[in-house]
A and B are shown apart, each in its own frame.
Chain A
Amino acid sequence: RKEVEQDPGPFNVPEGATVAFNCTYSNSASQSFFWYRQDCRKEPKLLMSVYSSGNEDGRFTAQLNRASQYISLLIRDSKLSDSATYLCVVPPGGYNKLIFGAGTRLAVHP
């Protein structure tokens, strides 16, 4: 099993839709998790950090399920500008050796 696994998508959704991505991880020692957003041909940028059971920031909600070892990202009321690849990031016992998932691609259409 890969250390971090994500559904590559693409998820094609209309504007206004709610969409959710999951990310599974294998190292149970991980204490914190991150979602990064990467636009096409651009650098990744931090979207959200998840330290306990979850985190919410406007239309974005990240949840952590330690028992099942997955984190999810929920996007409500999708905008065209949300179209990007979303990377799940896990620090399995070492912040200097982060593990990035391959990413889930989201395409929001009018």
Chain B
Amino acid sequence: NAGVTQTPKFQVLKTGQSMTLQCAQDMNHNSMYWYRQDPGMGLRLIYYSASEGTTDKGEVPNGYNVSRLNKREFSLRLESAAPSQTSVYFCASSDRFGTGATNEKLFFGSGTQLSVL
């Protein structure tokens, strides 16, 4: 079972370069999320897509764009990378979240370690 697949696992960019982080889930989930994790700060939501065709800003959206390509795929794009975007990025998906179901949870991808020099 693949679950949530993120690519690439590691990336080094120079300031000003652009790149797209790819995320795909095979669990038929409606909701998908992009988080970043920095030391001592916990995970912070960048963007989310509650369902196919919709995207919304999270807590720290500046400098990022997203595309919900279809129900399976949700990509994160850095148009002009900055050193402040050096972080670990996690994609996540969920089907039950917000439904009040007792088995609601997020499924995370294995993360992308991004360094911007």
Interface of A toward B, CB cutoff 8 Å: 4, 8, 34, 41-46, 49, 51, 87, 95-103
Q: In whole angstroms, what is the CA distance A87 to B58 when docked?
A: 19
Contacts of B58 in A (CB 8 A): 97
**A96 with B56: in contact, given A43-B109, A44-B108 (CB under 8 Å)?**
yes
Among B42, B102, B108, B111, contact of A45 (Cβ-Cβ < 8 Å): B108
Contacts of A8 in B (CB 8 A): 40
Among B35, B43, B56, B102, contact of A49 (Cβ-Cβ < 8 Å): B102
- Among B12-20, B44-52, B62-70, B71-79, the stretch that binds chain A is B44-52
Contacts of B105 in A (CB 8 A): 34, 46, 49
Contacts of A49 in B (CB 8 A): 102, 104-105
A87 touches B40 (CB 8 A): no
B104 touches A95 (CB 8 A): yes
Task: Count chain B residues whose beta carbon lies closer than 8 angstroms to a beta carbon of A.
Answer: 25
Contacts of B102 in A (CB 8 A): 49, 51
6 contacts between A and B (CB under 8 A): A44-B106, A45-B108, A46-B106, A95-B97, A97-B58, A100-B43
Contacts of A42 in B (CB 8 A): 110-111
Q: Does B2 contact A (CB under 8 A)?
A: no
B97 touches A100 (CB 8 A): no
**A96 with B90: in contact, given A101-B42, A102-B41 (CB under 8 Å)?**
no
B90 touches A97 (CB 8 A): no
A4 touches B42 (CB 8 A): yes
Most buried by B among A41, A96, A97, A103: A96
Give chain B interface residues in 66-96, CB to chain A under 8 Å. 90
Shortest distance in angstroms between A64's beta carbon and chain B's nearest beta carbon?
15
A43 touches B42 (CB 8 A): no
B108 touches A43 (CB 8 A): yes
